[in-house]
Amino acid sequence: MSRVYDTIEPAVIDDVMLMMAIKEQGPKNQAGKIADQEGIDYKDVINLRLDFRNILQIENLWSFSSLTRLSLDNNIIERIDGLDSLVHLVWLDLSFNNIEKIDGLSSLKKLQDLTLCSNRISKIEKLDSLEQLQVLSLGCNFLSNLNDLVYLRQFKHLQSVNLSQNPFCQKEDEYKAFTIAYLPNLVYLDFRMIDPESRAAAKEKYFMDLGQLEEEEVISQRKKSEEKKNVEALEQHTLAYVENLDGNPLYLEMYDEDSDGKKLNKLPNMEEDILPVFEEKFSDVCMKIFEYGMEAAEIRKSEVDTFFTCIEEAKAANRAKSADAVEQFTNYKLDVFAMITTTKEQSHVDSLVSKFNEEIQALWDNLMTLELQLVDQLEDTIKEFERNLADLVSGFLEKIQARFVQLRELENTHSEKLLEISINMLEKILKSEVDADQITDDLRELFVDKDSVTNAVSASHDRHLYVIDAREDRIVSRINSWMTGLIDQVHAKEEIERNRNRVVEINHLCDNLRDEMEDLDIVAV
């Protein structure tokens, strides 16, 4: 089984160990000397072997951002951690360690080959994010429950599994048949190709159990798909600032912490007549807010997409014009250089050189003009976009806030009606005209006098208005923050730096052209 190192001093993964490992695996001879002189950047390393180094804890690997293969076998590692930054890892070997639990692999979404042989693992778990897994080796561990293998059915690309020398392998025939039957995509089991006869026999043996499992998986998959669909829909609604406004969620929220309102709702005829009408009208307005919010979000998205498309098209067109100008000049330069290097007359050479320098200045003027035109074009586009965005947001808020006025009016009307019903009920109670079973004990506590009733209705009303106002304020603040953030993004310093870099690039180009002329070998006499 797994190795135990009782007398070995644990080693630390530090720069000394890492540099030593890289040099051992790196180029030799002259290439190795060059690497030593120039230094090695960890982010350029794609293959790293840290086997047989008495490592107890995985650490200090965050700089290896391009690593695709990592070998940590034959160490004394007890926990899988410290791998979160290795997102490009495809191959990982952690065999012959002291690992008891599978963990710390959730970030390795590109992992295809995982080796955990000869450890102390007793359960197959926490591999869900490894959707690209093709090879899994878990031989010589403490796996004892065959049913744990059903967990591996989710990995549709898994083709090779090694599970040999685990406790559940003692009944070899049962273990192999179960594994082959429940993992139908497997091609290799314990390093041997699965033959058609074994596959057919395993499928027949577990036919009934598999049928039931597959039905359960279909149901589970439908449930997951529905949950995913709901999550995606909620994300879209949230981006439109109208999440949980499609129906009665806001109505229900008003009563979440409204203890007095819940008691008053138990008044005779409230649940049968008054509340259903109030909820229907309230929910209808909420739905109108939701529908308009989703439509407005699409319009805003279209405006934003159009803006960024226009920006990129303007830059692309400008680059194309600049490239044409440079290409034309390059062709002209080749002709001029050819004439200069072949002419015998100094006056002709001087004329060509003078003309060439004038053309360089013309090129500089042309390229700088194109850049200035682009800057002006982008500024005009941004200003127009800001105006359009402000109009869209203000128009959205105007209509949304008008709907919230309707919600408050509905609440005011309902509160007035509730107060009227409550006062009438109080009068009947004081006159002993109400049977004992007509109202609950909670209600009787409220109906002591007119002040207690009025306070209860008022408290319920205030709670409802607070919920409505808070929801409206949240929409207003969020969309304004979105607009501010987007405008800040549009005015980001990247564009200023792009302009500066372009100016420097133009100057360097023209300077280099002048240098080429000066360095030209002129043979005129």
- pLDDT tens digit string along 366-422? 999 999 999 999 999 999 999 999 999 999 999 999 999 999 999 999 999 999 999
Percent of the chain past pLDDT 70, that is, above it, reads 94
Structure tokens at 170: 């003692």
Residues near 249 by beta carbon (within 8 Å), at least 6 away in sequence: 286
How confident is the model at residue 521, as a pLDDT?
66
What are 5-14's pLDDT values in tens digits?
445 678 888 8
* Separation between Cα atoms, residue 456 and residue 441, nearest integer Å: 15
Where does the chain hold its CATH 3.80.10.10 domain(s)?
15-205
* Separation between Cα atoms, residue 381 and residue 250, nearest integer Å: 40
Q: What is the mean pLDDT of residues 487-514?
A: 89
Mean pLDDT of the chain: 90
Residue 523 has pLDDT above 70, yes or no: no
> CA-CA distances (angstroms) from residue 200 to 82, 158, 161?
43, 19, 19
What are 439-498's pLDDT values in tens digits?
777 777 888 889 999 999 999 999 999 999 999 999 999 999 999 999 988 887 778 888
Place of tokens 């982010």: 43
Structure tokens at 357: 């320098």
* Separation between Cα atoms, residue 206 and residue 210, nearest integer Å: 6
What are 48-90's pLDDT values in tens digits?
999 999 999 999 999 999 999 999 999 999 999 999 999 999 9
What are 322-367's pLDDT values in tens digits?
999 999 999 999 999 888 888 878 888 889 999 999 999 999 999 9
How confident is the model at residue 278, as a pLDDT?
96
Q: What is the mean pLDDT of residues 129-151?
A: 95
Among 164, 154, 145, 150, which residue's Cα sits nearest to residue 127?
154
What pTM value is reported for the model?
0.69
Percent of the chain past pLDDT 90, that is, above it, reads 74
Max intra-chain CA distance, the chain: 130
Q: Is 328 left (phi over 0), alpha (psi -120 to 50) or beta?
A: alpha
CATH code given to domain 15-205: 3.80.10.10
How confident is the model at residue 415, as a pLDDT?
95
Q: What is the mean pLDDT of residues 287-294?
A: 97
Query: Do residues 49 and 27 touch, judged by C-beta distance below 8 A?
Result: no
Residue 96 has pLDDT above 80, yes or no: yes
How confident is the model at residue 250, as a pLDDT?
96
Structure tokens at 157: 């690309």
Helix (H) or strand (E) holding 297: helix 275-342
Give the residue with greater pLDDT, 26 vs 281: 281
Return the axis-axis angle of helices 15-25 and 29-38, rounded to nearest 10°: 150
